[in-house]
Structure 1
Amino acid sequence: MKPVRLPAAATLALPRWALYALGLLYILPGLIGRDPWKDDAGSFGIMWTMANGGLADWLAPNIAGLPVADEGPLAFWLGAICIKLFGWLVGDVNAARISTIAIFITGTVSVWYTAFHLGRRPEAQPLRLAFGGQPEPNDYGRTLADTAALIYLGCLGLLLFSHETLAVTLQGSLVAYFLYRAVRYVETPGIRNATLIGLALGGLVLTRGWLTPVTLVLTLFLSARFLKLPRVRTLSHMGAACITALAIAMIWVLPATMAQPYGLNPVGSWFAWNASQLGLPSWNSFKSFVRIGIWFFWPALPFAGWAIYAWRRQNHLLHIVLPLSFVAALTLLVLCDPAPENGDLLKLLPPLAIMAAFGLPTMKRSAINFIDWFSVMVLTMLASIVWLFWAAKLTGWPAQFAKNALKQVPGFKPEFDVLLVLVAAIATIGWFFLVYWRVSRRPSVLWRAVVLSSGGLILLWILLMTLFLPDLNYSKSYASVAKQIAAAMPEGSNCIDSNVGAPQRASFAYFGKLPFAGVHDREKCELLLLQDSVKVKDDREALRPPKGRNWKMLWEGRRPSDRDERFRLYQRLD
């Protein structure tokens, strides 16, 4: 017997304006007014170099002369195109983030439509009530789609990475689009849907390599066999999808291989990086996955687990089989990575959110009410704490709160920004209206629990990205260090050799306009910028300029909030 029993009143669709508003409130804070931070400055540096460089920079991704050939170029192409088109209007940083907005929309819309098509299938429908009144298939599908989108937006992992110009962010959205095309293929097998699957696979190849798309296409083929789709036809369609993906990948692979930009082989480095991502699962990788996944997949993971349990007595359910298969395969792929990145877990969020949407209707009303009130109390308390810390850093009271708020940003002087505070206040008032709607109306709609949790999470993000945005820019940006280095450079200097990392190099090149050496021009530089750690046991262990030449130190400094990094600028005298 089906585990879902719902009246039509529980499946009223979330108003479109409300869903769009939540999406805008989710993605815009953290993009506007934020400097490139250490986490995503490197990716922005690749985009900026492409936009201001030539064809070689588009074929061989680099940051002001530092080759970065690990990931594919697609995410950086999108950002560079946006810089070319809109940089003159909104600035290069904000222009690059237009691609981030487009990527976010692609992922969210794909999750919504995937859940909608799965939710209106006959096997997913609730039990028919004895006297009628059950929801129509399309209404039930829309409710599940709204629920899946809200759960997706409520995941902590997506919140952290969706605002950064990273390749893993594009990978997660392309996986969501692949899921949508996979569902459409199972519903209507044909060469058109197979070709569109190949489009998603090709995009994934150019984004983060071939391991994820190979895993996805194999999993889709096995799922199709489990769902009794004809083997020969499915095999031919998957072949067409792979051919399409290969043709898309050749857009970069062939020109880069033939041109050998800067004398490099970016495709060879890309293949080597892909191979390094595959190994045998280990206990350490399993522990890391569990430790990070507990918060990264919240709240999708517990709802998805409940969905598997609630629907366990039903056979060959597309809304369980397909997402679960992709979650299992992608989890195995992550466990096989010797050095997994947190952002690589984004590709698991779309199938988890979709599956979680089918777990919520099977829960008892008492459990949903508990989620409601837990969200209201905890998120309201956290929002109050954020406001309290903001007031404390400005007024100095309470003293302990002020001390804790300012100790992470030594030397920072808080200021009252009317616009940022106004945005934070409006968001807080909106949250109280949402809570009042829940208390006064007592709605029976299915998505009421997740709209509260997602709305509260968005409120916290808005508060952090307004009330504490100046603090975060001060502590996480290299803009001030870049300007100090630029001021210390002798006039007429046109070449700097350096060992600084990708985020630092990108920030220094963008904010300080430092003329870093090209790929093959290091020996000609008269300036040397070194990065090392202040936590060395002996001063002799610190990085020094090469021996055999006379060097003069022009500047030494670091970010006030960083107690480890140190930068030194030297000038060659002979």
Structure 2
Amino acid sequence: MKPVRLPASATNALPRRMLYTLCLVYILSGLIGRDPWKADDAAGFGIMLTMAQGGLADWLWPNIAGLPMAEKGPLAFWLGALCIRAFGWLLGEPMAARLAPIGFFLVGALSVWYATYLLGRRPEAQPLRLAFGGQPEPRDYGRTLADGALLIYLGSLGLLLHSHSTSAEALYVSLVGLALFATARLVETPSARPALLLGLVLGLMTLTRGWVTPLALWLALFGLALARRHDNALRLGLLTLPAAIVVGASWPLLAQLLQPYGHSPYGAWMAWNLHLLALPSWEGLKYLLQNVLWFAWPAWPFAAWSVYAWRRQSSAPHIVVPLTFAVALLLLALLGRHSEESLMLPLLPPLAMLAAFGLPTMKRGAINAVDWFSVMTLTTCAAFIWIGWIAKQTGWPAQLARNAFKLAPGFKPEFGPIACLVAAAASIGWILLVRWRVSRRPTVLWRAVVLSSGGVILCWLLLTTLWMPWINYGKSYAGVSRQLAQNLPKSGYCVQSNVGPAQRASFAYFGDVNFAGIEQSQCDFLLLQDNNRRKDDLRRITQGGQDWTLLWSGRRPSDRDERYRLYQRVK
């Protein structure tokens, strides 16, 4: 027997304006008014900028001002570079590049919504018919479940930073959602068109972040279709796989044929893919257990409950499709040779879908417990963000102010009236949302997650408005880049360096530093990055058979570890 029994009143859809507003507030917060940040954000922007300002070789061999970066794939950076070329003159290069992750997020959000809607309106997912009628219509039921899945997706903690960065991961997680949508279409309408769409998406995933995950997903779906003796197994083999291979192999084959910069990125790309596969290790399992609980919150508790509640109908498409994706992606995370958040990121779309189908089966007491936990925890976080901002602006409470300035030495507080008004409006909106939930006690399905998702979005909005200057000061390389540029000639030089991708991208953009290209080997300047905790003072060094003398040494005030030293060749 199905575990769901609902009246039609429980399937009132979330107001469309509210849903659109949440999505726009979510993705725009954190993208406006900041520099490229360290790690993947600045590195991805550097690849996009190099492509936008370079030629065909840079598009075929992704690089950051001459530093090869062909490991993951070029698709996300192609799209960002196109945005820079089209809108860089109007918005500036960093903001133009961020139009790409805005588009990536919208694709992912729509895919999760429509995939859940397609599976939620199927007969297997419908609630039991009531004795005197009044059960919801399939379309209304599917729409309400889709609203719940989208709210859970927006509230996932692991999505916050990655969806707001100019990186391959921002596109990758959205393509996983799009693959779920294509699979749902294939289940609903077994035909050539959705099979080819799924192949196209898997091929695009290959161009974004390698072939390991797309191959694992195809094998999981093909095995599922074979086990159920479904005709879709034939379509997956004859249509989906060839389409994925054609699309995914297009860039490696073209690069192999044209040999940009006299070489091909194929070897580095293939080596990076193979490096993702290894035997399970205790360290990998330990990392996953320690991080997935918060990374996939609040999706995983609802998803686990959904699998349990529907255990007697576990072969139903609305359970077996997202569960197949989740299991395949979880196994890949366990097989990862190195531990990083990007291995857990693709889990979020299938977990959000699974979680949505668990909402109709939850008891009122469990829903109230989740709500009160969300209200208490997220309201406390929001209050702490406000108190910390007041301390940073006024110096009271003194201890909080000292801690804030200790983490960012040299930072000067800025008061942004617009940011303050937006933060105040969001806080008032949160209070009204909590009041509505407590006073009305609605019976709609998405009531169990609206406070969790709304509270996460509130905290993120407060951080990216009230604290944006402070965060930007700590994560930007703009200041040290300009210091470096002051010690270099205006033109006619090149710099050899061992700095990381994010630093190289920032120095090239903010300081207009001319780094050695892929084909260059001899330069008159050498930039080294090392640990500031080392007390050595190497004013003259020998490297590469050449003598170098120190010109400049500096670091970011907020980073106690990184140190940069600029040397000039002794002639």
Asked if these proteins are the same fold (TM beyond 0.5), I'd say yes
SS of the residue 1:290 aligns to: helix
| Counterpart position of 1:432 | 431
- In the alignment, which of 526, 529, 554 is matched to residue 528 of structure 1? 526
8 Å CA contact 2:336–2:343 kept in 1: the answer is no
| Counterpart position of 2:562 | 565
CA–CA distance in structure 2, aligned partners of residues 183 and 543 of structure 1: 64
| Counterpart position of 2:69 | 68
CA–CA distance in structure 2, aligned partners of residues 225 and 451 of structure 1: 39
CA–CA distance in structure 1, aligned partners of residues 138 and 227 of structure 2: 25
Cα offset for 1:492?
4.1
SS of the residue 1:568 aligns to: strand
SS of the residue 1:165 aligns to: coil
Query: 2:254 is matched by which residue type in structure 1?
Result: P
8 Å CA contact 1:530–1:543 kept in 2: the answer is no
SS of the residue 2:527 aligns to: strand
CA–CA distance in structure 1, aligned partners of residues 491 and 14 of structure 2: 61
CA–CA distance in structure 2, aligned partners of residues 367 and 237 of structure 1: 40
Is 2:111 the partner of 1:114? Answer: no
Give the alignment of 1:414-429 within 5 angstroms: 414-429=413-428
Give the alignment of 1:303-382 within 5 angstroms: 303-382=302-381
| Counterpart position of 1:18 | 18
8 Å CA contact 1:4–1:127 kept in 2: the answer is yes
Give the alignment of 1:524-563 within 5 angstroms: 525-536=523-534, 544-546=541-543, 549-563=546-560
Query: 2:562 is matched by which residue type in structure 1?
Result: E
| Counterpart position of 1:189 | 190
Cα offset for 1:539?
5.3
CA–CA distance in structure 1, aligned partners of residues 380 and 460 of structure 2: 14
Cα offset for 1:324?
1.2
Is 2:175 the partner of 1:178? Answer: no
| Counterpart position of 2:38 | 38
CA–CA distance in structure 2, aligned partners of residues 456 and 207 of structure 1: 32
Cα distance 1:393–1:236, how it changes in 2: closer, same or farther (>3 A)? closer
| Counterpart position of 2:58 | 57
- Between stretches 218-227 and 527-536, larger displacement belongs to 218-227
8 Å CA contact 1:217–1:238 kept in 2: the answer is no
Give the alignment of 1:279-298 within 5 angstroms: 279-298=278-297
User: Could you list the per-position Cα deviations for residues 211-257 of structure 1 after superposition, in whole angstroms to 9, with x for gaps in the alignment?
Assistant: 11111111111222344413xx6224433111111221233122200
CA–CA distance in structure 2, aligned partners of residues 92 and 543 of structure 1: 38
| Counterpart position of 2:207 | 206
Query: 1:240 is matched by which residue type in structure 2?
Result: L
Cα offset for 1:373?
2.1
Cα offset for 1:534?
1.7
8 Å CA contact 1:205–1:249 kept in 2: the answer is yes
8 Å CA contact 1:390–1:468 kept in 2: the answer is yes
SS of the residue 2:486 aligns to: helix
Query: 1:562 is matched by which residue type in structure 2?
Result: D
8 Å CA contact 1:424–1:466 kept in 2: the answer is yes
CA–CA distance in structure 2, aligned partners of residues 450 and 315 of structure 1: 23
| Counterpart position of 1:261 | 260
CA–CA distance in structure 1, aligned partners of residues 33 and 302 of structure 2: 35
8 Å CA contact 1:186–1:224 kept in 2: the answer is no
8 Å CA contact 1:168–1:344 kept in 2: the answer is no
Cα offset for 1:535?
2.3
Cα distance 1:38–1:552, how it changes in 2: closer, same or farther (>3 A)? same
Give the alignment of 1:465-504 within 5 angstroms: 465-504=464-503
| Counterpart position of 1:83 | 84
Give the alignment of 1:390-469 within 5 angstroms: 390-469=389-468
SS of the residue 1:156 aligns to: coil
User: Could you list the per-position Cα deviations for residues 264-283 of structure 1 after superposition, in whole angstroms to 9, with x for gaps in the alignment?
Assistant: 22012111111111111111
CA–CA distance in structure 2, aligned partners of residues 501 and 131 of structure 1: 67
Cα distance 1:166–1:539, how it changes in 2: closer, same or farther (>3 A)? same
CA–CA distance in structure 2, aligned partners of residues 253 and 543 of structure 1: 43
CA–CA distance in structure 2, aligned partners of residues 58 and 528 of structure 1: 27
Cα offset for 1:51?
0.3
SS of the residue 1:189 aligns to: coil
User: Could you list the per-position Cα deviations for residues 279-298 of structure 1 after superposition, in whole angstroms to 9, with x for gaps in the alignment?
Assistant: 11111111111111011011
CA–CA distance in structure 2, aligned partners of residues 138 and 403 of structure 1: 55
CA–CA distance in structure 2, aligned partners of residues 236 and 433 of structure 1: 50
SS of the residue 1:407 aligns to: helix
| Counterpart position of 2:27 | 27
Query: 1:90 is matched by which residue type in structure 2?
Result: L
Cα offset for 1:69?
1.4
Query: 1:186 is matched by which residue type in structure 2?
Result: V
8 Å CA contact 2:540–2:548 kept in 1: the answer is no
Query: 1:166 is matched by which residue type in structure 2?
Result: S
CA–CA distance in structure 1, aligned partners of residues 491 and 115 of structure 2: 58
8 Å CA contact 1:169–1:343 kept in 2: the answer is no
Uncovered stretches (5+) of structure 2, i.e. residues with no partner: none
8 Å CA contact 1:190–1:237 kept in 2: the answer is no
User: Could you list the per-position Cα deviations for residues 137-175 of structure 1 after superposition, in whole angstroms to 9, with x for gaps in the alignment?
Assistant: 111100100000000111000112110111122111111
Give the alignment of 1:95-244 within 5 angstroms: 95-230=96-231, 234-244=233-243
Query: 2:530 is matched by which residue type in structure 1?
Result: D
8 Å CA contact 2:204–2:247 kept in 1: the answer is yes
- Between stretches 311-320 and 135-144, larger displacement belongs to 311-320
CA–CA distance in structure 2, aligned partners of residues 543 and 273 of structure 1: 37
- Between stretches 549-558 and 330-339, larger displacement belongs to 549-558
- Between stretches 340-349 and 305-314, larger displacement belongs to 340-349
- Between stretches 313-322 and 100-109, larger displacement belongs to 313-322
User: Could you list the per-position Cα deviations for residues 9-51 of structure 1 after superposition, in whole angstroms to 9, with x for gaps in the alignment?
Assistant: 1110001111100000100011111211112101110000000
CA–CA distance in structure 1, aligned partners of residues 240 and 162 of structure 2: 29
Number of aligned residues: 570
Query: 1:570 is matched by which residue type in structure 2?
Result: Y
Cα offset for 1:563?
0.6
RMSD: 1.5
CA–CA distance in structure 1, aligned partners of residues 214 and 243 of structure 2: 12
Query: 1:201 is matched by which residue type in structure 2?
Result: L
CA–CA distance in structure 1, aligned partners of residues 491 and 225 of structure 2: 65
SS of the residue 1:358 aligns to: helix
User: Could you list the per-position Cα deviations for residues 389-446 of structure 1 after superposition, in whole angstroms to 9, with x for gaps in the alignment?
Assistant: 0001111111111112221101111121212111111111111121222233221111
- Between stretches 160-169 and 22-31, larger displacement belongs to 160-169
- Between stretches 362-371 and 313-322, larger displacement belongs to 313-322
User: Could you list the per-position Cα deviations for residues 496-552 of structure 1 after superposition, in whole angstroms to 9, with x for gaps in the alignment?
Assistant: 1111110000000001100111112131x1111111112237557x99452754433
Query: 1:122 is matched by which residue type in structure 2?
Result: P
8 Å CA contact 2:540–2:549 kept in 1: the answer is no
CA–CA distance in structure 1, aligned partners of residues 392 and 540 of structure 2: 38
| Counterpart position of 1:299 | 298
Uncovered stretches (5+) of structure 1, i.e. residues with no partner: none
8 Å CA contact 2:422–2:465 kept in 1: the answer is yes
Query: 2:172 is matched by which residue type in structure 1?
Result: Q
8 Å CA contact 1:111–1:149 kept in 2: the answer is yes
TM-score by length of 2: 0.97
Cα distance 1:269–1:543, how it changes in 2: closer, same or farther (>3 A)? farther
CA–CA distance in structure 1, aligned partners of residues 528 and 178 of structure 2: 43
8 Å CA contact 1:486–1:512 kept in 2: the answer is yes
SS of the residue 1:359 aligns to: helix
8 Å CA contact 1:86–1:95 kept in 2: the answer is yes
